[in-house]
Amino acid sequence: MRRNITLKPHNTFGLDVMAAYVASISDLRGLEQLRKSGVWQSERRVVLGGGSNCLFMDDYFEGLVILMNNKGVSVQDLGNGRVCVSAAAGEDWTSFVQRMVAAGYSGVENLSMIPGKVGAAPIQNIGAYGVELKDVFHKLHAFDTQTGQLVDFESKDCEFAYRSSIFKTTFKGRFIILSVDFILQTTYQPNLNYGAIRLELEHMGVVIPGIQDVSTAISNIRRSKLPDPMQIGNAGSFFKNPVVHELVFHDLQREFRGIAGFPEKDKTIKLAAGWLIEQAGWKGKRVGDVGVHQQQALVLVNYGNATGRDIFSFAMEIQQSVREKFGIQLEPEVNFI
């Protein structure tokens, strides 16, 4: 355990936040020993994977930051064209997806290039291009910080929802995910429901796409739209895409031509938050060291020396602007710490 350590390398916004205590965990024994420490008992705790979906509000975090760095991936053949893949929480998500694609295991290729680590994926129920984590999830293994016991969670236990799970609601902060099990396929049926994928595959000259082709296409799309956190601080999509009843959507269509909407269940429509933000005049706008990315209005960026409070205030202005123009309340996807 180290004291007074900067978290700048550990959050993709690149905020120079100091933490009172930082502990790197590489195995269960290390976590069990940490739980016995006085710091664990007395300090506020937060677990970071890749720090890719969080915003530290203050320049100093008075508490314990736990970095999950355990490693390991194993594969069990289930037969009938299925495998169960178990990945440690500290595995880099992008590297994990690339490894699965290279092995010919399908199911996560549409989730290519999402920043973060495996352990954070179920918490957020990460999703992109027609696929969510829950679609390939089998179960996870977690450490109960209250009892010190190991607990398994199956899909039905996780209460997966759009960019949410029980680990963001009822059990927020209680469980530390140690590993995640996925059910993947050895035969490939591409999910090309999002038009951008087909267009990119056409641009690549691919007629019959394989797993690698789809992964490459999605990676190309993400690179063209999203800034690299290594180059400019950001946390990807800052807001969730709002979901409204279809009657509300029809009213919006009459007033705002070109508004994008995607049918969901129970007569609801998912709106494109990026479109709303852009139409409200925020795309490419910059105030000091905080701004909205020029290529993707859903992404807030740190141009250098912004603080968490700067980014938060800027985001709330966007939220208010969209609410005033469209009557839609944007909900942040990023976690505030």
The residues annotated as belonging to the active site are: 163, 237, 333
Cβ proximity of 107 and 185 under 8 Å = yes
**What Rg value do the Cα atoms of the chain yield, rounded?**
20
Angle of helix 93-103 relative to helix 211-225, nearest 10 degrees? Answer: 150
d(CA 306, CA 169): 29
CA 29 to chain centre: 27
* DSSP code, position 161: B
Dist. CA 227–CA 296, nearest whole Å: 9
- What is the C-alpha separation between 334 and 337, in angstroms, rounded? 10
Dist. CA 316–CA 272, nearest whole Å: 18
Helix axes 195-204, 211-225, angle to 10 degrees: 110
Name the token pair of 289.
């060291």
3-state secondary structure of 197: helix
Residues 6+ apart with CB under 8 A from 95: none
Residues 6+ apart with CB under 8 A from 231: none
Helix H or strand E segment including 165:
none
Tell me the pairing of strands 44-48 and 60-68.
parallel
Instruction: Annotate 267-334 with three-state secondary structure.
Output: CEEEECHHHHHHHCCCCCCEECCEEECCCCCCEEEECCCCCHHHHHHHHHHHHHHHHHHHCCCCCECC
